Structure 1
Amino acid sequence: MDFETMFMREDVDQLVESFLLLKSKEEVRAFLVDLCTPREITDLAQRLEVARVLDDGKPYVEAQAHTGASSTTVSRVSKALNGTWGGYRNVLIRLNDQLHEQG
């Protein structure tokens, strides 16, 4: 199943919509705890950190060493970071903007 087909599924669309309904960090944390295992949450966090390190211009080897991610994960994240969907890129831009607003 490809991503476009997956997002046409009603249950997947409901999942996407559910994230938009959350209004605070606490609500997101509670939903993640109910939805995912601790390992799944830390895996997602690790991938985002890999994206951040790669976006900072660091090489794959440094991203691996910094995050503990496998070479396969670093490669997959890099492909997504530079891919057409732009999910990592959007989040990294917004996180960076938020950091500058706070500082």
Structure 2
Amino acid sequence: MNSKLKSEAADFLFDAILSLENKEECYRFFEDLCTSAEIKAMSQRLVVAKMLMEKKVYTEIVKETGASTATISRVKRALFDNDTYGYTLVLDKLLDKGEN
């Protein structure tokens, strides 16, 4: 875990997210919490991670998502070179549930 992120405020945020029960509640909360650009950027990074796990190449990812190669590289490092495995954790759970 990244000790730079750990704080009471971050714990409070994550507890708030974990309290959400469905997509409608998520939309309502995140619309208040984030700008639409921030939500789109986070969504894009998750889709990029999914495509990288599916062994898609950069050109295909750029074409489909509009992500920059810098963003794709950053996600790739987080996906394969970090020890947090956050993307893998979430994507494995989503794929197990059949949500693509």
Normalised by the size of structure 1, how large is the TM-score? 0.87
Instruction: Note the C-alpha offset of 1:89.
Output: 0.5
Does residue 76 of structure 1 match 2:74?
Answer: yes
Any gaps of 5 or more consecutive residues in structure 1? none
1:98 paired residue number: 97
1:4 paired residue number: 3
SS at match of 2:21: coil
Runs of 4+ with deviation above 4 angstroms: none
Normalised by the size of structure 2, how large is the TM-score? 0.89
Name the % identity. 41
Greater RCO between the two (CA within 8 Å, min separation 6)? 2
Any gaps of 5 or more consecutive residues in structure 2? none
- The Cα RMSD (Å) is 1.3
1:6-60 CA-to-partner distances (Å, cap 9, x unmatched) read: 21x2111111111111111111111110100111111111001100110001122
SS at match of 1:6: coil
1:51 paired residue number: 49
